[in-house]
Every structure is written in structure tokens, then in C-alpha cells.
Amino acid sequence: MSQALETSYAPPLPGKPSIARNRSLNGAKLWRKLKPYLYLLPALLLLGIWMYRPLLNTFYLAFHKWGMVPGTTPEFVGFDNFARLMENKSFIGSIGNTLFYTAGLLPFSILIPLLLASVTHQMEGRMKNVYRALFFVPMILAPVSVSAIWRWLFHPSNGLVNDVLLRLGAISQPIAYFSDPGFAKWLILFITGWKMVGFSTIMFSAALTGINREYYEAAAIDGAGSLKQFYRLTVPLLSPMILFMLTMSILFSSQWTFAYIDILTTGGPYGTSTNVYYEMYKYAFSNLNAGFSAAAALLFFIVFGVISLTLNQLSRRYSFYDN
């Protein structure tokens, strides 16, 4: 993703066209012209079938009503799906939660990792890598496994968390965390964040390694304390990486929370922990309302498209590089 976003809008390579040019035979010429397309064919074909065809199909479905039963034909309903979507309280609520998750994840994907990265960066010797490697462990675990573990830790009557809190006298009654609107979405956020911290830390650490140490030495001679160094030097020098992580976090946080919502709360209690992607899934596979789901998907395809293009422009304009 890192390179991906940066290169995705880069113009094609300004290199020279391929060299061999002596053969005059028409067939060979045609062959040479076709060659690049041939190499691209598998990729483009698969993308066509599994990305662009369905996208167009979704666009079509968004204006139709269809119960997904084979043999039945979608019925054209115009903008009805969109109109009903706008009136649907659960959908409106899920937009609010999506914003909550997006904003709430930023400390976990930027702030905490930035601190962890710069603290470990100053360390000498092995410990720095040991810490970073340990932070990273949650990142590689699969969402279902992670959910199962947290569900057990937060189990209302037998979980460790309630047991410890009750013993400490912090609470007087066990809490059913995933059935409590005051906790459910915060826990989903926390678990998603817990998994993210290690990854972002590694990314920031890598970026820090690329920074010339002399900047810091110079700053230290000038008498800048470590806090000052952090926001005078570290933050600006890491700004490309920060913007990159920001883009990623904003674009993907709702996807990352999906599995936890599905396994831990199924969006509840009373829809307080759901997000737009989970609603789309429910509209389609629980309510069998393909048009509704498609309309929501289309809407968010556009919304996220606009956001990411904006962020991409931002990162081109405001990033400066240390070389």
C-alpha cells in the first residue's frame, strides 16, 4: 500500500520504448505491439471480471429491488433505495459510528506509534528491536482468533477483566461489555487499535531510521529537550509517513473493524456498534435486499473516493522529503 498509493497516480515511466526495431516484418511488429497487453492480460482480465464487472453490476442493482433469489429479476425502482437509505435510522446511526471508528483509531495508528517509535529509536542495542517485534505480534493474528480471545477476557460472568475489577472493588457488578452500549463500540475500537499499534510503530521506526542523526545532534547542541525535539524535528521529518498512515487509517479503519463487529457484537446492542460496511453486509445477506446494499455501497465508494483523492493531493502538496 505504501508505494501503491504513491505510485498510483504517477505518470508512466518516461523511459525509452523497447529497443529491438530492426525487424520489418509486419507480423513481428504487430506481435511487438501486442506484447505488453499480453503480459497484462491475466491481471486485467481478472480485474475486469472480479472488480469492474461487479462494480457496474452494483451500480445497476442500486437502482433496482432484488431479493437475490436466482431466477427472479430485479425490479427497477429509480432512486427509491437511496431515498429509503437516507430515512433509515440504522443507516444514519452507522454513519456516525463509522466516523467514530475512523477518528477513534487515529491515536492508535498515529499518536501512540509515533511515541513508541521515537522512544525506541533512541535506545541502543537489542532491546529496541525486541520491543518492536513484540508490539507487532497482535498484527499478524487473524481477526477471528483475536475476537475469540477478547470475548473470553471480557466475558460477563467468567471473564478475567470482570473478575479482576470486582476484586479490586472498581465495579460492584459484572459488566456485559459487548451487550452494553456504553462499552461495546469502545471495545471494538480498542481491539482494532490494539492490533494496529505494532504495525504503525514499525512503519514510523523505519521512517525514523532514514532520518539523519545529525539533525538531532544539532538540535541537542542548540539545547532542545526531547519533547521539543519530538515536535520540532521528529514530527515534521516524518510528515510523509504520517500522512500516509493517516490516509490508510481513514480509508481502511471501517474495514478493519468489520470482523470484530461481526463476531463480538453483530452491530449491537441495538445497533450502537455497527458501521456502514457491516450494515451493507446485513442488508445483503441477512435481509436479502441487494438493491439497498448496493445503493449504500455505491454511496460510500464515492465518499471514500473523494476523501482519498483529497488526501492524496494533500500528501503531494505538503510532504517534504529529507533528501
- Which of positions 218-237 make contact with another protein (CB under 8 A)? none
Q: Binding of another protein at residue 143 (CB under 8 A)? A: yes
Residue 286 beta carbon to another protein: minimum distance, rounded to whole angstroms: 6
Among 95, 131, 233, 246, binds another protein (CB under 8 A): 131
Phi and psi angles of residue 176, each rounded to the nearest 5 degrees, phi first: -90, 85
Burial class (CB in 10 A: 0-12, 13-18, 19+), 60: middle
Element of type H or E holding 213: helix 213-221
The DSSP line for 25-74 is -HHHHHHHHHHHHHHHHHHHHHHIIIIIHHHHHHHHHTTEE----TT---
Residue 235 beta carbon to another protein: minimum distance, rounded to whole angstroms: 19
Among 79, 96, 133, 227, binds another protein (CB under 8 A): 133
Q: Binding of another protein at residue 55 (CB under 8 A)? A: yes
Which of 195, 197, 196, 185 is closest to 264 using CA atoms?
185
Check: CB of residue 114 under 8 Å from CB of residue 226. no
> Which residues inside 232-261 make contact with another protein, applying CB under 8 A?
244, 248, 251-252, 255, 258-259
Measuring CA to CA, how many Å separate 156 from each of 56, 178, 189? 45, 9, 19
The neighbour count for residue 123, using CB atoms within 10 Å, is 12
Among 286, 313, 318, 322, binds another protein (CB under 8 A): 286
Q: How is residue 21 annotated by DSSP?
A: -
> Which residues inside 68-127 make contact with another protein, applying CB under 8 A?
68-72, 89-90, 116, 119-120, 123-124, 127
Q: Binding of another protein at residue 313 (CB under 8 A)? A: no
The amino acid at 42: P
Residue 172 beta carbon to another protein: minimum distance, rounded to whole angstroms: 8
Q: Binding of another protein at residue 213 (CB under 8 A)? A: no
Residue 323 beta carbon to another protein: minimum distance, rounded to whole angstroms: 15
CB proximity list for 43: less than 8 A, separation 6 or greater: none
The cell numbers describing 259, all together, are 470482523
> Which residues inside 22-51 make contact with another protein, applying CB under 8 A?
33, 35-40, 42-44, 46-47, 49-51
Among 3, 22, 24, 323, binds another protein (CB under 8 A): 3
The amino acid at 18: S
Among 86, 99, 148, 218, binds another protein (CB under 8 A): 148
Whichever of 100 and 177 has its CB closer to another protein, that residue is 177
Q: Binding of another protein at residue 5 (CB under 8 A)? A: yes
Phi and psi angles of residue 276, each rounded to the nearest 5 degrees, phi first: -60, -40
Select the span of 63-71, 94-102, 213-221, 315-323 touching another protein (CB under 8 A).
63-71
